[in-house]
Amino acid sequence: MKYRFHLVDVFSSTPFGGNQLAILPDATGISTEGMQKIAREFNFPESTFVLPKSDPANYRVRIFTPRAELNFAGHPTIGTACALVMKQHARTVDPIRLILEENIGPVMVDVAQRNGGYFGTLTLSGKIDAPAGAPAPADLAAVLSIEPAEVSQSFFAGVGVPFCFAQLKSNEAVDRAAVDRAAWKATLSRAWSSNLFFFAGELRDGGHLYARMCAPALGVEEDPATGSACAALVGAMASKHDFCGRAYRLSIRQGVSMGRQSEIEAEARNIGGVVTSVSVGGATAYIASGEIEVPPSALTS
């Protein structure tokens, strides 16, 4: 049976940058195992499958890496919303709000035209998971094959998807880092999160960061853009007791060393010392559409 698909690049305003995404806009009848096989076939960091709505105003969306299903992810959420708007409202100039029903729950995405292209911003409630017990900077330095003195701090945080964060002291150290699989297995494979997001730059409101992300357990050796990590990071920073502002914003560049530069905007809202919401935004560039032949073994009976 043939199924329509779209390919887009997320967190990039121009084609062949950002993070690649495959979307099946109507995945009715495909089994969970079939979705996983299709995601493995596309072999992008994530692929999404849009299913019949439980609410007429919403879209039910499932997200898969080549190896596992995710409850939530940033670039698939934004890319799917933008692709749906591109194909269904091609001439619109007014912002459109979509609700994507993901495994984490409803995710609001606002899609608008910006500079002739499409820009999506997702918003989540402000519940930030930030457990103690992250590996020591020296241990993460071994995972990244860099010197211990090049790691400033490490911590855990997550919004739907957990991450281990490591702040490095220079962009050059970020570029030079290479994951040592034996050290990763010993340090992170059984930790609260084995997904490693490492970055350089100032962690302050309005700061600019330079980042990379590796998630070997999910089958993602390196991710060109990681919206869920940026949401967790900005939320964790806005949750700190010494932050007194109402909004904490970060701009993140990722994927540069891969030749797929991504530009991500992240913001957390803080009212009375409590983070009420986090949002992540970026552009989406259309690449292609086509059909994939899905065999009967990948369909529901």
Bridge partners of 3?
Answer: 292
The values of phi and psi at residue 56, to 5°, are -55, -25
Burial of 69 (0-12, 13-18, 19+ CB in 10 A): middle
Question: Hey, which residues does 164 pair with through a beta bridge?
Answer: 156, 196
CB 60 within 8 A of CB 50: yes
What is the signed CA dihedral for 127, 133, 138, 144, rounded to 10 degrees?
-50
Look up 46 and say whether it is catalytic: yes
| 194-279-140 Cα angle (round to 5) | 25
Residue 272: CB atoms within 10 Å: 6
How many Cβ atoms from other residues are within 10 Å of residue 128's Cβ? 21
- 23-29 long-range Cβ contacts below 8 angstroms, 24+ apart: 23/47, 23/48, 23/50, 23/79, 23/80, 23/83, 23/84, 24/48, 24/49, 24/50, 24/292, 25/50, 25/83, 25/84, 25/87, 26/50, 27/3, 27/51, 27/62, 28/52, 29/1, 29/299, 29/300
Of 268, 266, 296, 293, nearest to 281 by C-alpha is 266
Options 46, 102, 150, 263, the catalytic residue: 46
Residues with catalytic roles:
46
